[in-house]
Structure 1
Amino acid sequence: MGVDEYTQARPSAALRPYVGFYSGYRQRGLAPATHRGLPSPYLTLIFTMDDPLDVAAHPDPRQAPGRYDSLVGGLHLTPALLTHPGRQSGVQVALRPLGCRALFGMPAAELAGLDLDAVAVLGAPMVAEIRDRLCSASSWPGRFAVLDDVLGRQLRPLPAGVAPEVVHACRRLLGGDVPVGAVAGEVGWSARYLTDRFRAEIGLRPKEAARVARFDRARRALRPAARLADIAAGHGFADQSHLVREFKAFAGCTPSRWLADEHDLSSLLSKPADDR
């Protein structure tokens, strides 16, 4: 008998400035599939519970395919390709860019475009504790409580080196359709200086981060019955052709192709998310 479970939850109040949401998934008895892990305004932290995560292609083509019991993926501009043999299970943490400092003690720029074993940033003991406790928990709320506990212990204050102007720009550019020039004016910096400081902390240029955030909001609004022109107009694109071009750039396919491949799959990264 097949199993197809997917659920989401918000983290504890202490973690919410740094973590958008948790996603839990468990599937068995499905057809083998390949899934696109698309660019988003969140870093990805995944802990598997049974089979490893198979990454057939990373956003950086120089990285060889690999299998991961846990994985952290930085912000990226091209899709990853993930495969499964008809079963997969685990928990995904949607990590805000500034959460990289708070939880890993490093700027998100150090992970930009990369997929790494989470042991590299959290250490083997912590990853082992999380995975063991996730596997022992009897419910999704119980598993999310494990993350609240362990990640909450890991929290550290943002260092003085993170400029408040960058914090403000990150929240504005990833949270809505705001021109980079307007944000630069809000913080009193030139657009060039903002770009340099923002990229050094986040790993993407401000315009790239804003494009990724807009793309993410639009693709989560896509449904089989939706009109692309309406989605484009409602999410800050010049027209339908503009939306299609952005889809090809970030997903490697058209919106209709992505819908055909993904809409009916209960894949770990394909569900609509309330917080994105």
Structure 2
Amino acid sequence: MNDAAVAEGLTFTESDPGAFLRPHVTHLSAYTERHSDPTSQRRPPFAGVVMIFGFGAPLALSGPGGSRLLASFAGGLHDTYVDTTTAGIAEGVQVNLTPLGARRLLGVPLRELTNRVVSLEEVLGGWATTTLERLAEAPGRAARIALLDEALSGRIGEAPPPDRRVGWAWQRLVATRGTVSVASIAAELGWSSRHLVSRFHDQIGLAPKAAARVLRFEHATGRLRSGMSLADTAAVCGYYDQAHMNRDFRTMAGATPRELVPPPRVIG
């Protein structure tokens, strides 16, 4: 567990989830955020479901699913960006779940959250209200993380597991960073492409091809941040060419690859 300051007005404590949660949760952190003036960010999509258990100043969110003002929310898989604006003082805990972990936790078809952000109470009912009250009373960020780890483990542990065949298909996409043929996945499962899309809409949220695009985008962003050239990134990440990569970045991030990830500065 470590504390860090990542931007003016924001401090957080992060921790690896407990052993039971690790297959379901990829990020777990508690934060305190203070901004005297409105602070805006554009948040590109990622291959997971974000949940904020927050108290204090709400966050203004604007995306394809509309505009909301929420302190606590869940955002399903997106294939485009969301703009956020915050001001004042806010505290809370952020959890990033795998799609299958979110499907198990929430107990609703994830297509209901695709490209949408909703309040926690809309999807978790009274459990969200009780958990938020307990988190607000916890003495500090580390205690909040421990409390939420326990609460999430209990709820997920009581829920039925997701379809293991969809789990296998999702892991194939993740392992290949979205470059495997969706038709080949359907064939290996003995499913029609239509049935695979239907199961993905229920358990993942996005259709397989859209999910693959998000995974390729994540891979490309990571490669660019490591210093790889545009041409090499496009080739390695399965784009037809740089123009194809540029189009995907504009759709998902509202920016070109170099606008999102500027080249490293050369000093000297």
Q: TM-score range by the shorter chain?
A: 0.7 to 0.9
Which has the higher mean CA deviation after the structures are superposed, 195-204 or 33-42? 195-204
Structure 1 position 67, deviation (Å): 1.6
Q: What is the letter of the counterpart of residue 171 of structure 1? A: Q
Q: More strand per residue: 1 or 2?
A: 2
Structure 1 distance, partners of 2:106, 2:24, is: 11
SS state at 2:47 partner: coil
**Aligned runs of 1:225-264 on 2, under 5 Å?**
226-259=228-261
Q: 2:63 aligns with which of 40, 58, 61?
A: 58
SS state at 1:98 partner: helix
**Aligned runs of 1:178-189 on 2, under 5 Å?**
178-189=180-191
SS state at 1:83 partner: strand
Is the 2:76–2:115 contact (alpha carbons within 8 Å) kept by the matching residues of 1?
yes
Aligned to 1:170: 170
Q: TM-score, normalised by structure 2?
A: 0.81
The 4+ residue runs of structure 1 with deviation greater than 4 A are none
Structure 1 position 88, deviation (Å): 4.6
**2:148 is the counterpart of 1:147:** yes
Q: What is the letter of the counterpart of residue 167 of structure 1? A: G
Q: What is the letter of the counterpart of residue 26 of structure 2? A: G
Is the 2:55–2:72 contact (alpha carbons within 8 Å) kept by the matching residues of 1?
no
Structure 1 position 189, deviation (Å): 2.0
Q: 1:12 aligns with which of 5, 18, 43?
A: 18
**2:221 is the counterpart of 1:216:** no
Q: 1:138 aligns with which of 137, 140, 145?
A: 140
Aligned to 1:48: 54
Q: What is the letter of the counterpart of residue 207 of structure 1? A: K
Aligned to 1:102: 104
* Runs (5+) with no aligned partner, structure 1: 264-276
Is the 1:130–1:147 contact (alpha carbons within 8 Å) kept by the matching residues of 2?
no
Structure 1 position 131, deviation (Å): 5.1
SS state at 1:85 partner: strand
Distance 1:192 1:233, change over 3 A: same
Distance 1:112 1:254, change over 3 A: same
RMSD: 2.7
**Aligned runs of 1:188-203 on 2, under 5 Å?**
188-203=190-205
Structure 1 position 256, deviation (Å): 2.5
Q: What is the letter of the counterpart of residue 147 of structure 1? A: L
Percent identity, please: 37
Structure 1 position 175, deviation (Å): 3.8
Structure 2 distance, partners of 1:69, 1:118, is: 9
Distance 1:225 1:97, change over 3 A: closer
Distance 1:24 1:179, change over 3 A: farther
Distance 1:30 1:245, change over 3 A: farther
Q: 1:37 aligns with which of 29, 35, 43?
A: 43
* Runs (5+) with no aligned partner, structure 2: 1-7
Aligned to 1:274: none
Q: What is the letter of the counterpart of residue 13 of structure 1? A: A
Which has the higher mean CA deviation after the structures are superposed, 129-138 or 189-198? 129-138
Aligned to 2:5: none
Q: TM-score, normalised by structure 1?
A: 0.79
User: 1:63-107 CA deviation, whole Å, 9 max, x = no partner?
Assistant: 2x2221200111122211101237554322111111233211122
Structure 1 position 117, deviation (Å): 0.5
Structure 1 position 108, deviation (Å): 1.4
Distance 1:146 1:176, change over 3 A: farther
Aligned to 1:21: 27
Is the 2:49–2:97 contact (alpha carbons within 8 Å) kept by the matching residues of 1?
yes
Structure 1 position 179, deviation (Å): 1.8
Q: What is the letter of the counterpart of residue 253 of structure 1? A: A
Structure 1 distance, partners of 2:155, 2:149, is: 10
Structure 1 distance, partners of 2:155, 2:13, is: 24
